[in-house]
Amino acid sequence: MQFLHPVFTITILILICYSFLEVYGREIKNYKSVWIVVVVLILLAGFRKFVGADYGSYLNMYSYFPFNATYSDIFQKAFFQQNSLEVEWLFVFFNNLFFNFGFPFYIFTFFVAIVSLVPKFYVIEKNVAYPATALLLYIVPGFFIADCGQIRQGVGMALAIYSFRYIKKQNLPMFLFVMYFALGFHKSTVIFLPAYWIAKVPLNKTKIIALVLFCMILSPFQIYNYFSALNSIAPQEIYQGFSDYVDIEGPSSGGVKFLDLISLLYLFFIIFFDKETCKKIPYYEYMRNLGVAGICLYFIMRGSPIFSTRLPGTYMFFTALILPNNLAVIENLSYKKFLHLILVLFVIFYYFVFGNYQAVNGRFTPESYQNYLWD
């Protein structure tokens, strides 16, 4: 049984304690001190040393692009002009900026960690009754894969998630403005552009079940193979290392997958607590729609380790908002505590799944994790 490095284990245990305080409290209380945990996560991600599946690639990029990509190339890409720049323009802009100012790579990753984590928790805090519980549900494995791994997508996701602020306000120009910068960090965030309209689609339990069942039926047909544009978002040959890192069962495994069970757990909460949560939590139906979209995308892309993890990611983030809000509206205290315990046990179980299947390659174990703050 593989544990994560003590700094991660202790941080997760602290979040579990906060989660119990939230759910077992007499009234809903927002603990501002959870921001301290967010700061710790920023330090753990930002100052990590040769940690994360893609760390080596980004380290090489840091010294490569300043000598091979001019600011003219970058701004051409920003205005959708064709050139030889293969990596998203805004990431290369900050990469070159930090390098040219003489900052070491860990200062750049520290900046990236701030931009990646602060918007995510800001959205959590503004939209979730139990923010610490939502962060707990996100951290395993989202924090390790996105914020400590594929950092371009981590930042792109953060900006796309922040755009939820403008979905609620029905401010389309600002939504598109934020999404433009999200695309500047990772082109896979283009999949989130329909979110502005998806959030407003009227759904109920019957429609949700029908949609998910329809997507499950589509799964064996691998319809994503007929859309060549998807390869430009997440090309298989470039991200094989990422595929090996995130895929637990392996591409050839048959039957029910671990991620299938997770998606069905999310669906259980969405269906059984839909009506009550819609009544009591502002804009819950928007979060629910985006979470359902993530589940549907997962099942459609299920046959591809790359597409099924990269493309639904931003939508699936909203499941971490949905479940704590579902808990908050349950009036039967014993039932609420029981379901909360199920979620905590799920996080603990996922902790060990991640520890045994992915943490070794990502160097998150006690033997391999290093940080510039103490090494």
Domain regions of the chain by residue span: 6-362
Please determine, for residue 240, whether its predicted confidence score (pLDDT) is greater than 50. Answer: no
Over residues 166-221, the pLDDT tens digits come to 999 999 999 999 999 999 999 999 999 999 999 999 999 999 999 999 999 998 88
Largest CA distance in the chain: 62
pLDDT at residue 274 tops 60: yes
Share of the chain above pLDDT 70, in %: 92
pLDDT of residue 195: 98
For residue 256, pLDDT over 90 is answered with no
From the list 314, 329, 17, the residue with the least C-alpha distance to 138 is 314
Q: What is the pLDDT of residue 311?
A: 87
Average pLDDT over residues 52-60: 93
254: confidence class by pLDDT, cuts 50, 70, 90:
low
Kindly give the interhelix angle for 131-138 and 34-46, rounded to the nearest 10 degrees: 20
User: Does the pLDDT of residue 236 top 50, yes or no?
Assistant: no
Query: For the segment 136-168, what is each residue's pLDDT rounded down to a tens digit?
Result: 999 999 999 999 999 999 999 999 999 999 999
Q: Is the dihedral of CA 258, 260, 263, 268 positive or negative?
A: negative
Could you tell me the pTM of the whole model?
0.92
For residue 371, report the phi and psi dihedrals to the nearest 5 degrees.
Answer: -145, 135
Q: Mean pLDDT, the chain, as a whole number?
A: 91
User: What average pLDDT does range 245-260 have in this prediction?
Assistant: 59
Helix (H, G, I), strand (E, B) or coil at 194: coil
Helix, strand, coil % over all residues of the chain, rounded to 5: 70, 0, 30
Mean pLDDT calculated for residue range 282-286: 97
Other CB atoms within a 10 A radius of the CB of residue 225 amount to 12
* CA 114 to the chain's CA centroid: 15
Q: Which residue, among 310, 274, 323, 354, has the nearest Cα to 2 in the 3D structure? A: 354
| Rounded-to-10 torsion of CA 89, 91, 94, 100 | -80
Q: What is the pLDDT of residue 329?
A: 95
Dist. CA 133–CA 16, nearest whole Å:
7
- The DSSP call for residue 38 is H
The one-letter amino acid code at 178 reads: V
Q: What is the pLDDT of residue 53?
A: 85
Structure tokens at 24: 């077992």
In this prediction, residue 251 has a pLDDT band, given cuts at 50, 70 and 90, of: very low
What is the secondary structure of 266-326 as a DSSP string? Answer: HHHHHHHTHHHHHHHSTTHHHHHHHHHHHHHHHHHTTT-TTHHHHTTHHHHHTHHHHHHHH
Closest CA to 108 of 41, 146, 59: 59
User: Taking residues 251-266, what's their average pLDDT?
Assistant: 76
Q: Is the pLDDT confidence value at 343 over 80? A: yes
Whether pLDDT at 245 is above 90: no
- C-alpha 154/C-alpha 112 separation (Å) is 9
Mean pLDDT of the 301-313 span: 83
Q: How confident is the model at residue 242 (pLDDT cuts 50, 70, 90)?
A: very low
A 10 A CB-CB count for 115 gives 16
Check residues 276 and 306 and name the one with the higher pLDDT: 276
Q: Are 254 and 302 in contact (CB under 8 A)?
A: no
- How many other CB atoms sit within 10 Å of the CB of residue 332? 9
Cα-only R_g, the chain: 20
* pLDDT for residue 228 is more than 70: no
* Across 278-297, average pLDDT: 96
As beta bridge partners, residue 371 has 48
Per-residue confidence (pLDDT) for residue 253, from 0 to 100: 47
pLDDT for 233: 59
- pLDDT at 237 exceeding the cut of 50: no
What is the DSSP annotation of 86-123? Answer: -S-HHHHHHHHHHHHTT--HHHHHHHHHHHHHHHHHHH
Quote the pLDDT of residue 224: 77
Query: Please, how many CA atoms are within 13 Å of residue 342, restricted to the half-sphere of its CB?
Result: 14
Backbone angles phi, psi at 230, to 5 degrees: -65, -30
Q: Residue 162's closest CA among 144, 189, 138? A: 189
What pLDDT is attached to residue 230?
63
- What confidence score (pLDDT) does residue 26 get? 79
> Facing residues of 48 across strands?
371
Give per-residue pLDDT as tens, 74-124: 999 999 888 888 899 999 999 999 999 999 999 999 999 999 999 999 999
pLDDT value of residue 28: 81
Phi/psi of residue 242, nearest 5 degrees: -60, -40
